[in-house]
Amino acid sequence: MTAPYSPAPHSIQEPPADDPAPDPNTLTQLLRSIGAGAAADGQPWPERHPLRSRQIALADADCALAGQRVVQELLLAAERARQNGDPDQDVGDRVMEGLAMACLALNVFIQERVRPLGAGA
C-alpha cells in the first residue's frame, strides 16, 4: 500500500496590510490600552468568617468596584482623547462631569458597604 501524496508544508505569504496603524489617541484605543494594564491582585478578603450580611455587603462592594473601574477608565480615556486626540473624539464637558459624578457616587456606595458594621462616619 502506498502513502497518499501530500505536498510539503510551506508558509502562506500575504501582502502587508494597507491599513495605517490606528490612532492611539482615539477613545476606543485609549480604553484598550488602559484596560490592558490593569489586573486584580487575587488576594482573599482578610476577614476569616464574615457574617452572611457582611458577605453580601462585600459582594456588593466588589461589584461596584468593577463598575467603578470601568467608569474611571472611560473618564481617563475621554480626558486623554480630549487632550491629545482629534476634536471629534472629545465627548464634551457634560459627559466628563457625568463620569466624574458616577465615580463619586460609586465611591460613596463602596465606602458604605466596606465600612465595618456598626461603625460611625
Instruction: For residue 62, give Cα distances in angstroms to 42, 50, 110.
Output: 12, 15, 8
The enclosing H or E element of 53 equals: helix 52-84
Q: Rounding to the nearest 10 degrees, give the CA dihedral for residues 6, 10, 16, 17.
A: 40
Which of the two residues, 118 and 29, has the higher pLDDT score? 29
Tell me how far CA of residue 81 lies from CA of 31, 34, 35, 106, in angstroms.
Answer: 10, 12, 15, 23
Residue 19 per-residue DSSP state: S
- pLDDT one-digit tens code per residue, 64-87: 888 899 999 999 999 999 999 899
> In the structure grid, which three cell numbers stand for residue 120, read together?
460611625
pLDDT of residue 40: 45
pLDDT value at residue 38? 42
Rg of the chain in Å (alpha carbons): 24
Of 52-61, 71-80, 91-100, where does mean pLDDT reach its minimum? 52-61
The predicted pLDDT at position 91 comes to 92
pTM for the whole structure: 0.58
88: DSSP letter: G
- Taking only the tens place, the pLDDT of each residue in 2-17 is 666 666 666 667 666 6
| 43 vs 55, higher pLDDT | 55
- Cell numbers representing residue 86 in the block: 482629534
